[in-house]
Chains A and B, each alone.
Chain A
């Protein structure tokens, strides 16, 4: 890990601290050389290491539970691949892949209660999957059929936020409302390393600390904000900023689904018991492009991608399951069948999505009648109707 005196500068991806297969011996989280603050329960080889503090938080995760987490990750990776294919086939305008970030999103997403409320960016499709979103709803935005995919109150997850970091304030405000209500739900904000440079994110930490709001700041440090390496956003590990705001923080191996589950559970328990906010930095890697419109070969080395491929979140859990005798063909076949079925449902939902009507462009701008807009809509409908009256020549 880059620390005092060896801080990464612009141009460095900085902060890559999971030494991975190259270093040989991998020790439990706090004791690991060079990664003294990174929580890890399953290393990149799939070896489960005991942890004095976090083991208790995942004591209920037995073999079948591990298998379920693996299935989740396989399914969301399959969703990601299918959506990318749909974009390449011209069925979606754009798609932001989460490839490589499955453990961070499934581990945290599966820790939540249904009455917790998620405010995410646009890459948290695996979190939406955990919340129970209708699959095709994920695609509505990217197909251009709506400005958002679902009613946030049906799955207690706000629709994707495009303004970088803006949702962290919404999560904090929601958490302030939870306090006023005397409830024990928790708001969770998902954002990336790039967002941590935004004023909104820093202001949200001020507000969260001042009001001791039950909010979790879940930062997926995937090392890249489009083409900008994390070293351009932060000169210290991002999690170290939070204590300056009075917020406890933890760095977790974001490619270790069990560790992500554990630290999120701890943060949730703190928030529910009146302990206020927690900042989690999940150190992971965006293995794909920023979106399907991006070309990462212009700005990052293939070697870096290879390094991170060796720490793949699915491969390491598969290795662990294999070592436990839980990766038999019957199981993997059923996982593949589930993933294929989900992908087929996703594709079918995409292709059968109803087209919006022209007049929908005016809907829901206001919840009350608006004389300006009503007049414009009336004129536009007359304009459209004029084509029907003069089909050969148009309105003129």
Chain B
């Protein structure tokens, strides 16, 4: 065990994957000498050379399309998209090529491409630097989508993503890059399942589902709620496509209540998919309609307003109160259950 930051854990995971498989190559903007704008690839070009850590021209479609060609040739490209909001030029290549080539070729061509995406807000950046575009990709068949919430998962899951024969979108919560944690570098990535959700705090009254940057917030909410005698079970999804619904369902059967929280906009988001799927699977066990606590359906706001947009501990607890029919921000409305989607 050693203590390292979230960012260093990803670096260590990349290094180990490159050590173990010479076909693993990194592609992206500023990832060479600079080590990436977040320094996640720091030192890797020096150690592995410019043919394995390739600074790319500033063209995201070009990076993704050439990664497809490298994968055709037998490589396992790890592409760094510099910021979440810069991924859209590559969208066509991801959706039409990366996601579909295995299906198109009836399994003949594999696309073991990992796309690393620093995502989410909370760092005071200008437009296009704080987005949460994960639902675009969870809606695209052929892709796997994961998001990591702690240094150990960051270290292990980057290796699992690279080893996966399917393309993986790997969403890194950039505001947690500097959080430190214990990392066991001896762990065998093949020994665990990248697709499995994890119960990070056990509870009995409400199931609180989240991923990525809001996992620590959700844990804090669970601790705070316990002061009021409310027992929250927190689930870190880890995999967003596919979602491990069996773990969520087992929890909701126990608690009877579901709250989902994410930074991404609400409409058509993962919260909707989780609410619908859990309602389909265990409607008879629900004591209350699923509650969503999410970002608003707005372009990501300028930084002085971003904490009004981002779910925080208090907004999550307000959602928990709604699920428990305790006094909450919507108390007194005629039909609180049907209007709860409007604001949060």
Q: Does chain A bind chain B?
A: yes
Give chain A's interface residues, CB within 8 Å of chain B.
Answer: 117, 119, 146-148, 151-153, 158-159, 163, 166, 168-181, 187, 199-200, 203-204, 206-207, 210, 363-368, 370-373
Whether B70 and A200, one on each chain, are in contact in the complex, defined by CB atoms closer than 8 angstroms, is no
- Show 19 A/B contacts (Cβ-Cβ < 8 Å), sorted by A: A117-B72, A119-B69, A153-B108, A158-B109, A170-B69, A173-B65, A173-B73, A176-B54, A177-B70, A180-B25, A180-B75, A199-B61, A199-B89, A200-B92, A206-B59, A364-B105, A367-B107, A370-B242, A371-B195
Contact with A along B140-174 (1 / 0, CB 8 A): 01101000000000000000000011100000000
Residues in B lying within 8 Å of A, measured CB to CB: 25, 51-52, 54, 56-57, 59, 61-62, 64-75, 89, 92-93, 96-97, 100, 102-110, 141-142, 144, 164-166, 195, 241-246
In the complex where A166-B92, A173-B65 touch, is A365 in contact with B105 (Cβ < 8 A)? no
Of A152, A177, A179, which contacts B108 at CB under 8 A? A152
Return the contact of A152 from the options B67, B72, B103, B144 (Cβ within 8 A). B72
Give the 8 A-B residue pairs with the shortest CB-CB distance, closest first.
A173-B69, A169-B65, A177-B73, A173-B66, A203-B62, A174-B69, A151-B108, A372-B242
Query: A200 to B61, Cβ gap below 8 A?
Result: yes
Chain B residues near A365 (CB-CB < 8 A): 102-103, 141-142
Write out the residue numbers on chain B whose beta carbons fall within 8 Å of the beta carbon of A199.
Answer: 59, 61, 89
Bound CA–CA A363/B103 (angstroms): 7
A166 contact set on B, CB distance < 8 A: 65, 92-93, 96-97
Within the complex, what minimum Cβ distance (angstroms) separates A84 from chain B? 24
Query: In the docked arrangement, what's the CA distance between A158 and B108, Å?
Result: 10
Shortest A319–chain B CB gap in Å is 41
Cα A166 to Cα B93 in complex, Å, equals 7
Contact check, A203 vs B65: say whether CB atoms are below 8 A apart.
yes
- In the bound complex, residues from chain B placing their C-beta under 8 Å from that of A177 are 69-70, 72-75
Q: Which of A146, A148, A203 gathers the greatest number of chain B CB atoms within 10 Å?
A: A203
Name the A residues within 8 Å of B97 (CB-CB): 163, 166, 170
Contact A207–B66 (Cβ < 8 Å): yes
A173-B141 contact, Cβ under 8 Å, with A152-B105, A371-B244: no
Point out the residues of chain A lying under 8 angstroms from B166, CB to CB.
366-368
Chain A binding surface, main DSSP class? helix
Contact B108 A171 (CB under 8 A): no
Complex alpha-carbon distance, A70 and B309, angstroms: 68
Q: Is the CB of B65 within 8 A of A200?
A: yes
Closest chain B residue to A206, Cβ basis:
B57
Q: Does A206 lie within 8 Å of B62, measured CB to CB?
A: yes
- Tell me if A173 and B25 are in contact (CB < 8 A): no
Q: Can you name 20 extra interface pairs (CB under 8 A) apart from A158-B109, A207-B56, A365-B142?
A: A151-B105, A166-B92, A166-B96, A168-B65, A169-B64, A170-B72, A171-B69, A172-B65, A172-B69, A173-B68, A173-B71, A174-B70, A177-B74, A180-B25, A200-B92, A203-B61, A203-B65, A210-B57, A364-B106, A371-B195
The listed residue with most B CB atoms (<10 A of its CB), out of A117, A158, A173, A372, is A173
Which residue of B has the minimal Cβ distance to A179? B51
Given A153-B108, A173-B68, A181 contacting B62 (CB threshold 8 A)? no
A159 touches B72 (CB 8 A): no
Is the Cβ of A169 less than 8 Å from the Cβ of B92?
no
* Residues of chain B with a CB closer than 8 A to A163's CB: 92, 96-97
Whether the Cβ atoms of B65 and A368 lie closer than 8 Å is no
A367 touching B61, Cβ below 8 Å:
no
Question: Which A residue's beta carbon lies closest to that of B165?
Answer: A367
Residues on A with C-beta less than 8 A from B107 are: 363-364, 367
A36 to B326, CA, bound (A): 84
Query: Chain B contacts of A371 at CB under 8 A?
Result: 195, 242, 244-246
Please state if B106 and A187 are interface contacts (CB–CB under 8 Å).
no
Q: Which B residues touch A159, using CB under 8 A?
A: 104-105
A234 to B12, CA, bound (A): 48
Q: Is the CB of A364 within 8 A of B102?
A: yes
Do B105 and A170 touch (CB < 8 A)? no
Q: How far is the CA of A152 from the CA of B73 in the complex (A)?
A: 11
A199-B61, A203-B57 in contact; A148/B105 too (CB < 8 A)? yes
B164 CB to nearest A CB, Å: 6
Asked if A181 and B102 sit within 8 Å, CB to CB, the answer is: no
Contact status B65-A170, CB under 8 Å? yes
Q: Are A169 and B68 in contact (CB under 8 A)?
A: yes
Tell me, rounded to whole Å, the shortest Cβ–Cβ distance linking A322 to chain B: 43
B68 touches which of A117, A152, A170 (Cβ 8 Å): A170
CA distance A180 to B54 in the complex (A): 11
Residue with the greatest number of chain A CB neighbours at <10 A, chosen from B64, B66, B96, B110: B66
A107 to B99, CA, bound (A): 34
A119 to chain B minimum Cβ distance, whole angstroms, is: 8
With A153-B108, A206-B62, A207-B57 as given contacts, are A173 and B72 in contact (CB-CB < 8 Å)? yes
Q: A152-B108, A367-B102, A367-B110 are in contact. Are A204 and B96 (CB under 8 A)?
A: no
**B65's contact among A147, A204, A210, by CB below 8 Å, is which?**
A204
Q: How far is the CA of A305 from the CA of B59 in the complex (A)?
A: 39
* Contact (A181, B105) CB under 8 Å given A169-B61, A368-B166: no
Residues in A neighbouring B144, C-beta threshold 8 A: 366, 368, 370
Question: Bound complex: CA of A166 vs CA of B69, how far in Å?
Answer: 11
Chain A residue at minimal CB-CB distance from B99: A365
Write the nearest CB–CB distance from A385 to chain B, whole angstroms: 21
Q: Closest chain B residue to A165 by CB distance?
A: B65
Known contacts A180-B51, A200-B61; A152/B109 CB under 8 A: yes
Residues of A within 8 A of B106 (CB): 146-148, 151, 363-364
Is there contact, CB below 8 Å, between B241 and A372? yes
Contacts of B65 in A (CB 8 A): 166, 168-170, 172-173, 200, 203-204
Interchain nearest-CB distance for A197 vs B (Å): 14
Residues in chain B near residue A175, CB distance under 8 A? 69
Measured between beta carbons, the chain B residues less than 8 angstroms from A200 are 61-62, 65, 92-93
Chain B residues lying within 8 Å of A181, measured Cβ to Cβ, are 73
Complex Cα distance, B166 from A373, in Å, reads 14
B61 to chain A, nearest CB (A): 6
User: Which residue of chain A has the shortest Cβ distance to B109 in the bound complex?
Assistant: A152
Nearest CB on A from B83, distance (A): 19
Q: How far is the CA of A121 from the CA of B251 in the complex (A)?
A: 50
State in angstroms the CA–CA spacing of A206 and B58 once bound together.
10
Which residues of B have CB within 8 Å of A151?
Answer: 105-106, 108
**Contacts of B67 on A, CB cut-off 8 Å?**
173
A180 — which chain B residues lie within 8 A by C-beta? Answer: 25, 51-52, 75
Cα distance A177–B77 in the bound complex, in angstroms: 10
Tell me if B243 and A187 are in contact (CB < 8 A): no
- Set of chain B residues within 8 Å of A173, measured between Cβ atoms: 65-73
Q: A166-B96, A200-B65 are in contact. Are A148 and B104 (CB under 8 A)?
A: yes
